[in-house]
Amino acid sequence: MRARCDELTKHPGERDRRSAIPWASPPNKRIKRIEESQSELPSKTRRKAAMHALQDLGEAMVLLTPERLAALALPERLADAILQARHITRWEARRRQMQFIGRLMRDVDPLPIQARLEQWAGASNAEKARLAHVERWRTRLLSEADALDHLCAENARADRPRLAALVARISDERAHGEPPHAYRELFRTLNALFAGT
């Protein structure tokens, strides 16, 4: 170590040459150089994340119904790969197939596909919310005495006599241990009522 220090003091030009070495430059210049190189090309991590995002999008398309998959108007090779993935049950083979789908997705603009999937997911979420609303009303009609009045006040299309008869039949079915036919019929009636509003 001491010999190296002596050598540096003997040769003053040595320090100038060392400052020309990239890793010997001040830290702020190194950071700037790294940031410039990162802005030119995506990093390996970003490329990998983008590839995984495409694979996830492909996985979502594998789960679609055939009608919805056809509605996406995908290139034939990609559509075939998705259909093949549905029949693959072995984990490693499926993983490779999903990677292949991800590679094929590179040639397709994923934004319209993703927007369509989100649109369908939003529609299914709205449908789930509507069905939950129907279920809440069915529960209220069976547990609250004034629920039928509130329902008819909120919805003019409600068939009050029919709903009252269904609630009475449900009570009879429960009392006699019969199958819940009226219970299901009440759900269908409420579902039709709220689907029309």
- The alpha carbon dihedral of 45, 50, 55, 57 has a sign of positive
For 38, the token pair is 């990162």
Q: Residues 131, 154: contact at Cβ < 8 Å?
A: no
Please tell me which residue, 31 or 69, carries the higher pLDDT value: 69
Widest pairwise Cα distance in the chain: 108
Give the separation between CA 124 and CA 48, rounded to whole angstroms.
Answer: 31
Please determine, for residue 31, whether its predicted confidence score (pLDDT) is greater than 50.
Answer: no
Give the separation between CA 4 and CA 29, rounded to whole angstroms.
Answer: 26
Give the separation between CA 188 and CA 197, rounded to whole angstroms.
Answer: 15
Question: Which domains, and CATH codes, for the chain?
Answer: 2-40 (no CATH), 44-108 (1.10.60), 127-195 (1.10.60.30)
Q: What confidence score (pLDDT) does residue 46 get?
A: 83
Question: What average pLDDT does range 174-195 have in this prediction?
Answer: 90
Q: What confidence score (pLDDT) does residue 8 get?
A: 52
Give the separation between CA 122 and CA 127, rounded to whole angstroms.
Answer: 9
Question: What average pLDDT does range 20-36 have in this prediction?
Answer: 48
Please determine, for residue 123, whether its predicted confidence score (pLDDT) is greater than 60.
Answer: yes
Please determine, for residue 17, whether its predicted confidence score (pLDDT) is greater than 90.
Answer: no
Q: What is the pLDDT of residues 128-169, one digit of tens each?
A: 888 899 999 999 999 998 999 999 999 889 999 999 999 999
**Average confidence score pLDDT of the chain:** 81
Q: What letter does residue 90 receive in the DSSP assignment?
A: S
